[in-house]
Structure 1
Amino acid sequence: MLETNKTLCYSGDELVEVLKEIEYILISLHKLGAHYAETLPSSYLEYADETTKFIDDNNISEKLANIRKILSSKFDNSLGVDDQDDLERAFEKLEYWKPRK
């Protein structure tokens, strides 16, 4: 990792924005799960539908992309000898969702 990426500084406003988004998503999903917890598994389809609806109707992917943008904006994205920056290198072994066979 580049020395400049070992310590990053964010403004309080940036961190408050990130934490507000995380809080909204986390608490909302917790409340959604708690609401259906007592009736699962019989209400699983309704729970899954409501979770999907929450994600879609509240632009959760956009909120997460904004969090990523704020947090990654401070990184020096200079390429190393492997032709990758520090974040690319850190993410290269992540296993992303893929359809079941």
Structure 2
Amino acid sequence: MEVKVCVEGVQRVVCGVTEKTTCQEVVIALAQALGRAGRYTLNERFKEYERHVTPDERLLESLEKYGPHAGDVQLTLHHNGPPAEDVGGKPRISENQLYI
């Protein structure tokens, strides 16, 4: 399946999304396509409701909750800065931000 994500004002299409595809996998694919590592959040917006999608969420499962309105949900990728590293030099993952 294809998922549309707005990245820097341009709508991108991520192909090959399955029921097992996580939000983090989609973010990594988009970041690799852009050639830019860093901290990212993926936002889901439907009408006036907006939230951050968590890294381990299954994206299609989340969209299915909107039923026939799933096509009206807007996904937006936000670049929040360079990769954050912990003391050991490994990338960290928080609940609301995706690090690659």
Q: TM-score range by the shorter chain?
A: under 0.3
TM score, norm. by length of structure 2: 0.22
Give the structure with the larger strand fraction. 2
Q: Which has the higher contact order (CA 8 A, sep 6+)?
A: 1
TM score, norm. by length of structure 1: 0.22
Give the structure with the larger helix fraction. 1
Larger Rg: 1
